[in-house]
Amino acid sequence: MKFSANLGFLWADRSLPAAIRAAKTAGFDAVECHWPYGARTDDVQAALEETGLSMLGLNTARGNPGENGLAALPGREEEARAAINQAIAYADAVGAGAIHVMAGFADGQEAESAFAENLRYACGQTSKTILIEPLNRHDAPGYFLTTTDQAAETIATVGAANLKLMFDCYHAGRTEGDVLTRMESLLPVIGHIQIASVPDRGAPDHGELHYPTIFAGIETLGWKRPLGAEYRPGGDTDATLGWLAAAR
């Protein structure tokens, strides 16, 4: 199996270029990040070229302090689309293949309409994969997108070929369960898979999800792309990487 280091959490105490180099040393096949905008794109690109790693994806900006995305916020379309444009420009500069458009804290029909229209905008601005990700209600109470079914309905409504689901085993495991069956049913619309333990979001080597079974199931589904290790190391990242050697 192949794995991507999510540098929003792993080696988060280092600059993004330094974290990319650490991921290479640790044996990851790719990297991904959350909000890289404070790092110069030429420095990031240099680290990617030096290591031979690809940047799989990044997030749109959260918005104002306390916010968690803008795309489902009625009346904030101009800001949401500016964040989408920013993400596309950064992704173009570093060769990232996907952009996670963050919905934000909202609910109701107006939010649903705003989210769909902003996603149509994003999908029309780039050929890159546009990702949406349900966040569990424990970690992100009030977030607009909360279930994989809701995400699948949104993807069908928008109707863009490059709009896909970011299937996070951690978020699905916290509130939906039956992770492998759900993953199999949604496989046609999945653009990326992420992993972390349930319920503490630590390394994928303990907790309610048995990751050797999850990994075997993913292989059976024919998934070949890197899985995103988006977990909180709770200290030194290198000290948590026993699972990676075991998964190899």
pLDDT number for residue 70: 98
pLDDT of residue 7: 98
User: Residue 205 and residue 183: Cα distance in Å, rounded?
Assistant: 20
Q: State phi, psi for 163 to the nearest 5 degrees.
A: -95, 125
Query: Which ranges of 27-66 would DSSP assign to H, the alpha helix?
Result: 41-51
The two three-digit tokens of residue 202, written as one number:
């630590």
For residue 248, what pLDDT is reported?
83
For residue 36, give both structure tokens.
């890289």
Q: Is 32 a catalytic residue?
A: no
Task: Single out the catalytic residue among 77, 79, 219, 230.
Answer: 230
133 is catalytic: yes
pLDDT per position in the chain (248 positions), as tens?
A: 999 999 999 999 999 999 999 999 999 999 999 999 999 999 999 999 999 999 999 999 999 999 999 999 999 999 999 999 999 999 999 999 999 999 999 999 999 999 999 999 999 999 999 999 999 999 999 999 999 999 999 999 999 999 999 999 999 999 999 999 999 999 999 999 999 999 999 999 999 999 999 999 999 999 999 999 999 999 999 999 999 999 98
Read off the pTM: 0.97
Smallest CA-to-CA distance from 33 within 74, 5, 71 is with 5
Set 50, 78, 110, 133: catalytic member? 133
Q: Which amino acid is at 90?
A: Y
